[in-house]
Amino acid sequence: MKPSSADNKAIERRGLMVLLAVLMMAFMFGWFMLKAPMSFKDPIKVGILHSLSGTMAISERSVADATLLAIEQINASGGLLGRQIEPIIVDGQSDWSVFAREAERLITKEKVAVIFGCWTSACRKTIKPIIEAHNHLLFYPLQYEGLEISKHIIYTGANPSQQIIPGLHWLIEKFGNTLFLVGSDTIFPRAANAIINDYAKALGAEVLGEAYRPLGSDQFDAIVEQIIASKSDMILNTINGESNIAFFKALHKAGIRAEQIPVISYSVTEQEVMQIGVQNMQGHYAAWNYFQSIDSDENKAFINAFRQRFGRDQILSDPMESAYIAVNLWANAVNNVGNITITDVLSATLSESYRAPQGMVYIASHNRHVWKKSRLGRVQGDGSFKMVWQSDKRVTPIIYPPSRTKNQWEHLLQSFYNGWDEQWAKSLLNAQGER
């Protein structure tokens, strides 16, 4: 029987009610997802790529922890864009080839939104082409040799214009005008010492000797003999990682104390002092932009939060603070643009500033480095650094020192790379006799 007009209207009403119910359910589902706890939303994955084993673990473990602290604090305060941050922590094993492999995996397999990591320039230089090829983003927290700009890297550590050079005049006035340079046979010490040579000459000082050992080497007796024979007024130290333990023990064994020949280190933090041994380092110096002893509310909060999370006896250092800064600068940029698209975040990051434990820091938009003050500290009996000098204002990050042209600096870097069989450091595998 053909449906009546009344039946058709009833069917239409039911259909309309079903449609309205579906629309209402869709609206309610969308509202629920917007207001839902973050556990119902996909997290934002980020990579933490540091050496948790090998010769650089002495330095890098704590930097990974500081990165993790910043992430946990952001998550506790509501996350980013209503989502939790999920850290993917990877061990680079103090091996630049492992760093390269893991950087590729973090980008292509884990689909991270950003990578925070690297300590040595050899590792950064090795993963830089990977970061750039994938149009990705790396926050690098360490002081380094400069001589590099990448639109895909934000450098929250210092370059020589902000760490090595500013205090050199003070050191020469205080200790004398003859220097001995010692470092790991990697790109940072080699390039940094070339810069030191240029500036020492301009300041009327003289470099009496240079000596290098492969990363991870523990043989420094011969170098200490060279230092003693040179009769230098001071030693500028760019050794990385565990090799510092062997170097300072060799100095101590030879009877060299800070009162006789002070060592000024550029990669030794409060963390390494405790492992080297305070008795081997007391009275010596280090150049950084942050020391734990800085008296500010932000620094006190940083120290307290870290110790509550990782232990009351923990000591904080410049690279740790730079890593902490990096996460917060990235998070601010993400919040400002409202998404995690790398090109958008990169663009927003270039106008970011942050009230850090060391004081206000700004990203220099023209070269992606951070403006910060330069400081010198002296090792005390408890292993902390007492600040003995700081710059009057934040120091401009100058990437290519004017003592040479940009082409000359890049040619120098390439000569190191070629001399190390197209690597950015002299490997112990190729220098077993120098172990």
Residue 426: per-residue pLDDT: 87
Is the pLDDT at 415 greater than 90? The verdict is: yes
**144, 159 in Cβ contact below 8 A?**
yes
Is the pLDDT at 29 greater than 50? The verdict is: no
Q: Average pLDDT for residues 184-194, to the nearest whole number?
A: 97
Phi, psi (degrees; rounded to nearest 5) at 382: -95, 5
Q: What is the Cα–Cα distance from 331 to 107, expressed in whole angstroms?
A: 19
Per the model's pLDDT, the better-predicted residue between 37 and 331 turns out to be 331
Buried b (16+ CB within 10 A) or exposed e, 50-80: bbbebbbbbbbebbbbbbbbbbebbbeeebb
Q: Average pLDDT for residues 235-253, to the nearest whole number?
A: 97
Taking alpha carbons only, the member of 245, 323, 313 closest to residue 290 is 323
Q: Average pLDDT for residues 248-256, to the nearest whole number?
A: 97
Residue 1: per-residue pLDDT: 53
Structure token pair of residue 238: 């760019």
Structure token pair of residue 341: 């698209």
Instruction: List, for residues 62-103, the tens digit of each pLDDT value.
Output: 999 999 999 999 999 999 999 999 999 999 999 999 999 999
Q: Average pLDDT for residues 381-407, to the nearest whole number?
A: 96
In which band, very low, low, confident or very high, does the pLDDT at 430 lie, cut at 50, 70 and 90?
A: very low
Instruction: List, for residues 277-300, the tens digit of each pLDDT value.
Output: 999 999 999 999 999 999 999 999
- Could you give the percent of the chain with pLDDT greater than 90? 87
Q: Average pLDDT for residues 297-319, to the nearest whole number?
A: 96
Q: What is the Cα–Cα distance from 196 to 411, expressed in whole angstroms?
A: 17
Domains of the chain, with CATH numbers?
44-158+295-373 (3.40.50.2300), 168-289+376-434 (3.40.50.2300)
Residue 32: per-residue pLDDT: 44
Q: Considering the chain, what is the average pLDDT of its residues?
A: 91
Q: Average pLDDT for residues 10-20, to the nearest whole number?
A: 56
Q: Average pLDDT for residues 175-204, to the nearest whole number?
A: 97
**303, 67 in Cβ contact below 8 A?**
no
